[in-house]
Amino acid sequence: MFQLQYKRIYLEKKHVFRIAGGTRTNTPAILIQLQFENHTGYGEASMPPLYGEDFQTAEAFLKRVDLTSFKDPFNTEDILNYIDTIAPNNPAIKAAIDIALHDLIGQILNIPLHSYFGLKPKNLATSKTIGIDTPKIIEERVQEASDFKYLKVKLGSELDEEIINTIKSLTNQPLFIDANQGWKSKEEALEKTNWLKENGAVFIEQPLPKTALDELSWLAAQSPLPIIGDEGIQRFSDLKNASNFYHGINIKLMKSTGLREAYKMAQTAKMMGLKVMLGCMSETSCAIGAAAQLGALADWIDLDGNLGIKNDPFKAHHVENGIIHVNNKAGVGLLNPNWDQIPTL
């Protein structure tokens, strides 16, 4: 029989985090422990305010979860279809259950999840995120990220030019650009994209509001750089028309409801000729460890969410010089998790 427990936690950020949509110093999260017989799996729901989930919505959802009719943890399709139909939306808390279930399966089989999904282990060069800030703070963040192959730069404000000029005065690291829907018109987006290409940008993530479909279609046809959908691509159903507006998609477990759907999204996107990026929120090593298991499917990796928090209760894959060394531990790759020692609110 399944037993599910959860804990509340605030993930405290090492630095104030600013993007085009706002500023925060922490992120509410729910940690999941899922037990079946003598095996245990762990999962996580990270819930930035932008996406509409919080402790109350997550706990209300969990109160409706009843796994007593399921006798086999390997019956993932039926279990996760049931979870998905409990209520609309709620992707992060659904992802927490999905991750915990897959971690549990990995523990039972004693294999890492990349093997479960039929993927080869791959060391991953993740980007390091630079938020919107003053030149002094930007300089500090760039210096901290000097060992990383890529920088992910948050734009979408009146500080765009200042931020890029500051970064380019310090480094020639290639840049992943994320405008977080912050640019106001297709003309502005194209002008900035041309300029950013000259300044080492690799791609542009969500340059315009996700609802500006005509403008995004025009921009995708004109852009000298790949346009990547983030807010505009949440779940598998969003892939249907994605190639009309984007050249690639940013898959995040907290948007996709977890590993099962993220895997399907990545495989389908590749068949459609779309680039695949694996991204994250502020997350612990549990969710980051889970996403890293799908790294072989990605063209670009942005899995640094655990590196930006002060109170990660888990340990998983070792990161050195910006490289995630995906381990061969069972499940998501956690190292000696201790549920009882995790503080809760």
State which amino acid sits at residue 153. V
pLDDT at 92: 98
**Residue ranges covered by each domain of the chain:** 2-110, 116-325
Q: Is the pLDDT of residue 18 over 90?
A: no
Of residues 98, 28, 50, 43, the one with CA closest to residue 256: 98
Q: What is the mean pLDDT of residues 68-97?
A: 97
CATH number of 2-110: 3.30.390.10
Q: What is the mean pLDDT of the chain?
A: 96
pLDDT at 21: 66
Measured distance CA(101)–CA(15) in Å, rounded: 32
Measured distance CA(330)–CA(335) in Å, rounded: 9
Q: Tokens representing 91? A: 């992707």
One fold for both 2-110 and 116-325?
Answer: no
Half-sphere exposure of 332 (CA within 13 A, CB side): 30
Asked which of 14-28, 267-281, 321-335 is least confident by mean pLDDT, the reply is 14-28
Confidence of residue 291 (pLDDT cuts 50, 70, 90): very high
pLDDT at 322: 96
Q: Is the pLDDT of residue 24 over 90?
A: no
CATH number of 116-325: 3.20.20.120
Percent of the chain with pLDDT over 90: 94
pLDDT at 13: 93
DSSP 3-state assignment of 152? strand
